[in-house]
Amino acid sequence: NPVSTKKYKKLAGRGGGCLWSQLLGRLRRENGVNPGGGACSELRSGHCTPAWATEPDSVSKKKKKKKKKIYKNIFYNYISLVILKKKMLKIKVVLDQIFSWSNPITIIFVTHMVRKYD
């Protein structure tokens, strides 16, 4: 801000010669990026971790959730197909028994259908 800079220069010109060094020292102390800065008492190497590094990535979280949902759907579809296949197999067995040529009902049914559409 140009106004505040002029103000500090004016103060420095009036006998406040060490004002700039005081201000810079204060800024260094309050700056959290410098080693031992006021924002965090740790050194720079172990400084406060940025939020983007600690928070879980929402995109990867959504991908994992979507992948889990897909696998869940695949599993349920597979189970449904297995159950359906078993039911169809049972129906086929029953139909084979009903419509076997050794069954008298089948012979009567086929004879009837042939006469009806003959």
**Model pLDDT for residues 52-94, shown as the tens digit of each residue:** 566 666 667 788 888 888 888 888 888 888 888 888 888 777 7
pLDDT for 54 equals 60
Looking at per-residue confidence, does 80 or 31 come out higher? 80
Domain ranges for the chain: 2-54, 58-116
Q: How far is C-alpha 64 from the chain's CA centre?
A: 4
CA 74, 76, 79, 84 torsion-angle sign: negative
- The mean predicted confidence, pLDDT, of the chain is 68
Contacts of 35 (CB under 8 A, 6+ apart): 43, 44
Neighbour-count burial of 68, counting CB atoms closer than 10 A to its CB (0-12 exposed, 13-18 middle, 19+ buried): exposed
How many other CB atoms are there within 10 angstroms of residue 117's CB atom? Answer: 6
Q: What is the pTM of this model?
A: 0.31
